[in-house]
Structure 1
Amino acid sequence: MWFSVATVAALAASANAQATSPPSYPAPWARGGTNEWQDAYTKAVAFVSGLTLLEKINLTTGVGWEGQQCVGNTGSVPRLNFRGLCLQDSPLGVRDTDENSAFPSGMNVAATWSTRLFKSRGNAMGSEHAGKGVDVQLGPVAGPIGRVPEGGRNWEGFSSDPVLTGVAMAETIKGIQDAGVIASAKHFIGNEQEHFRQAVGGLTKFAYSANIDDVTMHELYLWPFADAVRAGVGSVMCSYNQVNNSYASQNSHLLNYLLKNELDFQGFIVSDWWAQVTGVASAFAGLDMTMAGDQNLASGDTFWGSNLTLAVLNGTVPQWRLDDMVVRIMSSWYKVGRDKTAIPINFNSWTLNTTGFAHAQAQEDFTQVNWHVNVQDDHAALIREIGGASTVLLKNTKNALPLNKPKSIAVIGEDAHDNPGGPNACGDRGCDTGTLAMGWGSGTANFPYLIAPVTALAAQAAHDKTKFANVSDNYDLKAIAAAVTGADYALVFANADSGEDYITVDTNQGDRNNLTLWGNGDALVEYVASLNPNTILVLHTVGAVILEAHKNNPNITAILWAGLPGQESGNAITDVLYGKVNPQAKTVFTWGKSREDYGVDVVYTAAEDPLQLNFNEGVFIDYRHFDKYNIEPTYEFGYGLSYTTYKYSNLKIEKLNPGPYQPTHGTTGPAPTFGHIDLDPAHAEFPPGFNAIPFYVYPYISTPVPTGEPQNWPKGATDGSPQPLIGSGGSPGGNRQLYDEMYTVSATVTNTGHVKGTEIAQLYINLGGPNDPKVVLRAFDDLILDPGESETFTYQLTRRDLSNWDPVSQNWVISNFPKTVYVGASSRNLPLSARLH
């Protein structure tokens, strides 16, 4: 069934709708515009101009769940031998296949604070997707950004800070698209918890509404997506939830105004799988592609497909809106060079067997579906490097680390050991058995192998002729006591897991129920430390856990956070423990002393429908919240130790003169149409004798074209006349002058220790206003320094870095409040500061 905008609004209004999303119509049409997009746009226009109505519809609509090889496939254009697009998870590797790599999580690579590693990881993942025949990699992730520490999918993204996330998004996208694959930035926007992100059968009829004010949207949640658009991302994926009581997949303010107008996004917007809830309304609101194409899992029904064909035939959806959808899709395809680099799809998401059904849901066309193409290349070395570079050394006392051929060690904990069923024993990693190297859900990939910590540590011990003992059972206290008593070092491993809401692990439905260690982990750590005065704690967690007691335990001499390091987990942690790698990582979230310290939490029960998630904290999440309320954390954002020491000095600031800010003015051209559309309904019907595959979504119609049905469509939705440009827009990522350089900031960083190391220099700013955070991150760099060596950290502060969003003028402004720059080693260790003049 299709709902009009008015019907959907009435349904939502039946609940306690506290926030509203302003309408913005019509959907902006692509224009190419920048040099980066213009050639691709020209090619896309030429291609689309030659398509029929049904062929255009086919490229906008998925063929349905398990309809073809990929987790998402659009329809094809057989006449032109164009197979359509293959969209495939995930943001850490190619999902649901074999002979692929399992990369570290986004959270891990962010902890390296290395733009080189951001881009290298993206490029390696992109090349693996390309090698499997994938057109669109469903990643990277900026939503969730990590508003609540218990959020189930925080680990898929990068950081709770928008600047670090934005830089990681941009570099990852460049890496993926340089490999010839379209990146899809997700989830747009406000998907900050798993509970009630969708309607829950028997509990709620609607997804929750993330109620976000204009300032918070711009200064926090939209910020990294602006960086993604500026980096040239080809696709953006909508989230499941509502934003200000309008579903993200049909929220015209989000899609038309913010993304396509203000950020000048030239690519295509795709729904998350079954996140689309209306047909025509979502087309008018800016959606360009629907996935998986069916209305719900394997329904065979669709909001678009044949229904979109009917809507064009009866004049409801104008040709220019359909043409714009397809031009955006094909512009992205040409932009990354898919016309030159695409190869046949050589895997099947629904079976790892060589043979299977080409149409798995319908159980039709049994044939070869997997060619088992090995795409791993030498990526294991990169994965190991990121694993080591992302391991945060949180505590190191009594010269515990690095280890140097100890006489004896004991390795304790299930998390150090293999899953007895193998690393892929649980579908989509939906269990917490053995060592944890990725969370669960659609953001996963199959492991080609997984090096458990005990494997690598045992090998190192054998090389060093170190006496070695290990216990995998967290509850076998007798065996643990025997192993750790008298050992030079006791290495205890513990974890905390989370993931997507369609899987529940140990009563955790996606989001974590608490911030404690799993599998009796906290009690295990305390017990080992009570027996061994050199206990080293290694954590594989999806985010923060409560560590205050362990930090203050004198028998716990070192604590390391290894996150979710991927397939080379054991080798990476061994590299760090033994000093082959000097830790450079800094934590990308704040470690509170209690869950209450964060000020926000997952809402686990819905007292209203839709649940109203009011983001009343504004921009004050994570370290910004801790700073505002003067809460002492266990470990602050940006914190991390090294095996050497560093000194900061010689802060200098040079004022530049880029000229005044000019809001964008003018209008667009009229909405263009490309080619001729045959409006004869008889030519849109199933061809005689056509063998329709069950559950498969087609563009053909089988019902009469509806006429004379009045619809209360939003004002301007079908208006193809020239439209005014908005002052804050005009270029990818927003007004081009936001990126004018205003000041050059430099400082000297010196390695004052005796070991070569990499220091992450961090630049923060106080914007001076009474409602501004104490400090916000604006820049960072990884400086590789030999003992005694100094290097200059330099960054050009942009107009955007110094601006606040003004909801009245709907533009960025630099306030008159005094602004101060800080440089140092973490958000609370900033020895250098200077006022901007």
Structure 2
Amino acid sequence: MKKNTLIAVALLFGSVVSVFGQNKVPVYLDDSKPLKERVEDALSKMTLEEKIAMCHAQSKFSSPGVPRLGIPENWMTDGPHGIRTEVLWDEWSQAGWTNDSCTAFPALTCLAATWNRDMASLYGNSIGQEARYRNKNVLLGPGVNIYRSPLNGRNFEYMGEDPFLSGQMVVPYIKGVQQNGVAACVKHFALNNQETDRNTVNVNVDDRTLYEIYLPAFKAAVQEGGALAIMGSYNKYKGQQCCHNEFLLKDILRKEWGFEGVVISDWGGVHDLNQAIHNGLDMEFGTWTNGLSWGTSNAYDNYYLAQPYLKLIKEGKVGTEELDEKVRRILRLSFLTTMNRNRPFGSFATKEHALAGRKIAEEGIVLLQNKNNILPIDLNITKKVAVIGENAIKMMTVGGGSSSLKAKYEVSPLDGLKKRIGSQAEIVYARGYVGDASGSYNGVVSGQNLAEKRSAAELQAEAISVAKSADIVIFIGGLNKSDHQDAEGADRKGLELPYDQDKLVSELVKVNKNLVFVNISGNAVAMPWVNEVPGIVQGWFLGTEAGNALAEVLVGDVNPSGKLTFTFPVKLTDNGAHALGDFPGKNNEQTYREGLFVGYRYADKQKIKPLFSFGHGLSYTTFEYGKVTADKKELTADDKITFNVEVKNTGKRDGAEVVQLYITDLKSSLPRPVKELKGFEKVALKAGETKTVSITVDKSALSFFDDKKHAWVAEPGDFEALIGASSSDIKTKVAFKLK
């Protein structure tokens, strides 16, 4: 072997060797050295051109390393729900691989609905293993933007309306991903709460609302989760694009939170060279982002942080201090991911990952209504089941935007039910309505042929005929991932169900009262027929094992334990963004006039009864709460207080309950919500079993952000701790003081 080859091998593996008189390998390749020392050593060896190259993309999903120094490329991948299929180097078209069919995990709305931190850890670790196996070192997710309006087309990718819950669920997800030597890139920072005019809309929000509602989950991701990367959002804030926003990226993210990781632009989210240099952005990705190079072969060289940046430096118009800071952070990312010799090898599309997704799906499905105990399906007396609705057969892993997946397989709800009960009861299917017959997105094709020649009237007549003769009707409808539904790039046009589903549900329940509506969606929908339909299930987008998980809940093999992470309003004006605002804005300006009062906070303030409340979710068993007690009557500023409550499973089935702690400030110098979620625990209980649930908080749970002082404040005085099964089902409370 030639001398230079031996040295290259030694460099690549970071070994301490002696080759033809050479001494130890460079410091930057010696992983026994402190990380900062390695970064500085590598930086000192790089040319100006090599530094510039690391700050921008070289293909749709990769950026250069430094081959001369043995520093690998960085490879990104969508998305938060599964590892996206390979595309061509410089096109969105499919690369045509035959081994990139992934596990599709449930959407993040479903994960959050588990209210189970262990499920978030399992999710993160599983998807991290898949990313690692495909040699991706940055996973573009998870998303933690707050559910402000039920019309946001991208809500299904996020974790609901509450900042505390989102923060609690994102931290174990991040840690799970990153233990595989893959960076989690938390998105979209910040205030990305609509898809309409997403690249141009300027968000106006007061500092208190920003800090209390829209930033806490990102802060938890950084300070508790240790996220290695953050993605900027498309929209503007304070008139600056968020991908190079001085207040968000420098003042808050870097200075206040101490973030040491990499800030990555959303694809095409960079608009200004000077701001991109000076305002905290590190890596620029996208398509023809400077708007001048459409179709040119060297488009990436023309990105803002490419040749234009290099030209300014060479002309002496800007220095290299900002560039060195960017490269330091990128090198840190590389050393912790691609150059970490101890990172595991990962695994891909395995049975274990499919079962992990199935377990998450089972825990996230929410039983919203169960009059007359219509569920679970009693297979001892049920001889014929009518399954109705396009969503019973339509694949949901394809489409929706950047989270679209080429799944190894996807079990439909109809197939899941056939597999589970087909040998015990007759299952008859009727489509009922035609929604979206297409099955492709960016070249990923579902393979389904959902073309339909029959008229809407014929489809409805068939559904009614099938329903009449059935013992129970399972209507599987809701939304899909088409434009103006649950999809990136466009918001919903209204709260109602599409494709005349409301009319069909109303007609079906007239001929068969034993009707269960399964809502497949990542968003709340209106239900004008709610009083007539006894069974309602929130079924989410459940991924690869969707049908199996749903069937197990419907027949009672799994006792549902999911809880809603956002409020279902009766009508759109029961939501603060629509009652007080002009969603999605006018003239590219959107003002958050509801302020702090998002979701259940608005419903509490206005004393509005929701269709279904935040935190709501039923079980096939029943739970009884004892009286909550506190371990002390007064909380000092440097102490903690623990609340204890006994919970008993009073039914005949094993089950799990989510015990929720809300805090009320009885007197405050500034207006505050009636109550705010500040703790929760999911407890598994066997039939007849009692357990004591303990939740501990400190003064941060009592604090609000004083925008005049620009500081978090906990005012001495009287508080109440409320223990509930949802935000509207408070079981017990106890008073305490902050000294």
Q: Distance in 2 between matches of 1:291 and 1:508?
A: 18
> Residue 17 of structure 1 corresponds to which residue in structure 2?
none
From 471, 481, 494, the counterpart of 2:477: 494
Aligned 8 A contact 2:230 2:264 in 1: yes
Say if 2:230 is the partner of 1:254: no
> Residue 11 of structure 1 corresponds to which residue in structure 2?
none
Say if 2:700 is the partner of 1:812: no
> Residue 362 of structure 2 corresponds to which residue in structure 1?
388
Q: Distance in 2 between matches of 1:487 and 1:800?
A: 55
Instruction: Report matched runs for 1:55-454 at 5 Å.
Output: 55-63=50-58, 67=59, 71-97=60-86, 98-143=100-145, 145-198=146-199, 207-230=200-223, 231-292=225-286, 294-295=288-289, 296=291, 300=299, 301-336=302-337, 338-340=339-341, 374-405=348-379, 406-418=382-394, 429-430=398-399, 440-454=400-414
SS in 2 for 1:808: coil
Q: Distance in 1 between matches of 2:487 and 2:138?
A: 33
Aligned 8 A contact 2:577 2:583 in 1: no
Q: Distance in 2 between matches of 1:152 and 1:246?
A: 23
Q: Distance in 2 between matches of 1:279 and 1:340?
A: 36
- Sequence identity (%): 30
SS in 1 for 2:733: strand
> Residue 4 of structure 1 corresponds to which residue in structure 2?
none
SS in 1 for 2:548: helix
> Residue 745 of structure 1 corresponds to which residue in structure 2?
643
1:197-227 CA-to-partner distances (Å, cap 9, x unmatched) read 11xxxxxxxx111111110111010110110
Q: How far apart are residue 818 of structure 1 and its match?
A: 2.2
Amino acid at match of 1:142: V
> Residue 428 of structure 2 corresponds to which residue in structure 1?
469
Tell me: CA distance 1:629–1:809, structure 2 relative to 1, closer, same or farther (3 Å).
Answer: same
Greater CA deviation, 327-336 or 387-396? 327-336
Q: Distance in 2 between matches of 1:511 and 1:568?
A: 27
Amino acid at match of 2:502: D
Q: Distance in 2 between matches of 1:256 and 1:605?
A: 28
1:205-253 CA-to-partner distances (Å, cap 9, x unmatched) read xx11111111011101011011000110001111011012121122211
Q: How far apart are residue 83 of structure 1 and its match?
A: 2.8
1:411-436 CA-to-partner distances (Å, cap 9, x unmatched) read 111111145xxx67xxxx34xxxxxx
Greater CA deviation, 577-586 or 401-410? 401-410
Q: Distance in 1 between matches of 2:61 and 2:486?
A: 30
Aligned 8 A contact 1:765 1:822 in 2: yes
Q: Distance in 2 between matches of 1:505 and 1:777?
A: 29
1:25-58 CA-to-partner distances (Å, cap 9, x unmatched) read xxxxxxxxxxxx9943343233222222111111
Tell me: CA distance 1:808–1:110, structure 2 relative to 1, closer, same or farther (3 Å).
Answer: same
Tell me: CA distance 1:48–1:375, structure 2 relative to 1, closer, same or farther (3 Å).
Answer: farther
Instruction: Report matched runs for 1:738-777 at 5 Å.
Output: 742-768=640-666, 769=668, 771-777=671-677
Amino acid at match of 2:641: Y
Tell me the TM-score normalised to structure 2 length.
Answer: 0.85
> Cα RMSD over matched residues?
2.4
Q: How far apart are residue 508 of structure 1 and its match?
A: 10
Tell me: CA distance 1:821–1:658, structure 2 relative to 1, closer, same or farther (3 Å).
Answer: closer
Tell me: CA distance 1:137–1:341, structure 2 relative to 1, closer, same or farther (3 Å).
Answer: farther
Q: How far apart are residue 477 of structure 1 and its match?
A: 2.4
Instruction: Report matched runs for 1:693-772 at 5 Å.
Output: 742-768=640-666, 769=668, 771-772=671-672
Q: Distance in 2 between matches of 1:332 and 1:128?
A: 19
SS in 1 for 2:340: helix
Q: How far apart are residue 807 of structure 1 and its match?
A: 1.6
How many equivalent pairs are there?
A: 655
Gaps of 5+ in 2: 1-31, 87-99, 434-455
1:724-760 CA-to-partner distances (Å, cap 9, x unmatched) read xxxxxxxxxxxxxxxx652122221111111100101
> Residue 821 of structure 1 corresponds to which residue in structure 2?
721
Q: How far apart are residue 486 of structure 1 and its match?
A: 2.7
> Residue 7 of structure 2 corresponds to which residue in structure 1?
none
Aligned 8 A contact 1:489 1:534 in 2: yes
> Residue 726 of structure 1 corresponds to which residue in structure 2?
none
Q: Distance in 2 between matches of 1:225 and 1:477?
A: 46
Greater CA deviation, 810-819 or 157-166? 810-819
Tell me: CA distance 1:338–1:575, structure 2 relative to 1, closer, same or farther (3 Å).
Answer: farther
Tell me: CA distance 1:186–1:409, structure 2 relative to 1, closer, same or farther (3 Å).
Answer: same
Gaps of 5+ in 1: 1-36, 199-206, 346-372, 431-439, 661-739
Q: Distance in 1 between matches of 2:478 and 2:253?
A: 38
Aligned 8 A contact 1:73 1:292 in 2: no
Q: Distance in 1 between matches of 2:125 and 2:713?
A: 36
Q: Distance in 2 between matches of 1:40 and 1:323?
A: 16
Aligned 8 A contact 1:656 1:742 in 2: no
SS in 2 for 1:389: helix
1:394-451 CA-to-partner distances (Å, cap 9, x unmatched) read 11112211112111111111111145xxx67xxxx34xxxxxxxxx001232222111
SS in 2 for 1:552: coil
> Residue 621 of structure 2 corresponds to which residue in structure 1?
644
Tell me: CA distance 1:178–1:748, structure 2 relative to 1, closer, same or farther (3 Å).
Answer: same
Aligned 8 A contact 2:401 2:487 in 1: no
Q: How far apart are residue 616 of structure 1 and its match?
A: 1.6
Q: Distance in 2 between matches of 1:243 and 1:655?
A: 43
Tell me the TM-score normalised to structure 1 length.
Answer: 0.75
> Residue 23 of structure 2 corresponds to which residue in structure 1?
none
Q: Distance in 2 between matches of 1:328 and 1:507?
A: 33
> Residue 524 of structure 2 corresponds to which residue in structure 1?
544
From 584, 598, 614, the counterpart of 2:591: 614
Aligned 8 A contact 1:61 1:293 in 2: no
Amino acid at match of 1:232: G
From 27, 35, 59, the counterpart of 1:40: 35
Aligned 8 A contact 1:280 1:311 in 2: no
Amino acid at match of 1:765: I
